[in-house]
């Protein structure tokens, strides 16, 4: 049962434009959300996070938006750069069956075209 979903497996964007990556979750008890970036043959690296008490968090070119009522979050990258090309994972920190863990989506491969 996929509790964190990224329905777009891939996304292509022109350099300089906005990239929007989406993520949906099913468990309303999740209270902390993260985005990770992964290059081939490397581990995921933390990008940005947001607590459930907020609806927006910004860090430079990266902004994460959270819509709790819709159980939806999105990552905006503006402006997109070729170096942003990677797989992006959405993750939720929360409990299922009483144990806390990071639960990941299946990832979205972003390709930024020069």
- Our measurement of the distance from residue 88's CA atom to the centroid of its chain's CA atoms, rounded to an integer in Å, reads 6
Residue number with CB closer to another protein (49 or 74): 49
Interacting residue ranges for another protein, rule: CB under 8 A? 31-32, 34, 36, 41-46, 49, 51, 87, 89, 93-94, 99-104, 106-107
Q: Nearest distance from residue 17's CB to another protein, in Å?
A: 25
Q: What minimum distance in Å lies between the beta carbon of 106 and another protein?
A: 5
User: What would the DSSP string read from start to end of 16-78?
Assistant: TS-EEEEEEE--TT--EEEEEEE-TTS--EEEEEEETT-SEEEETTEEEEEETTTTEEEEEES
Instruction: Report the nearest approach of another protein to the CB of residue 40 (Å).
Output: 10
């Amino acid at each position: 049962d996929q509790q964190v979903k990224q329905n777009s497996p891939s996304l292509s964007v022109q350099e300089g434009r906005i990239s929007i990556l989406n993520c949906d979750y099913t468990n309303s008890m999740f209270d902390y959300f993260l985005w990770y970036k992964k290059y081939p043959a490397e581990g995921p690296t933390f990008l940005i996070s947001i607590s459930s008490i907020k609806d927006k968090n910004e860090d430079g070119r990266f902004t994460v938006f959270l819509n709790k009522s819709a159980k939806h979050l999105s990552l905006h990258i503006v402006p997109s750069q070729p170096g942003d090309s990677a797989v992006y994972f959405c993750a939720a920190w929360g409990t299922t069956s009483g144990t806390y863990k990071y639960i990941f989506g299946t990832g979205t491969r972003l390709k930024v075209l020069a």
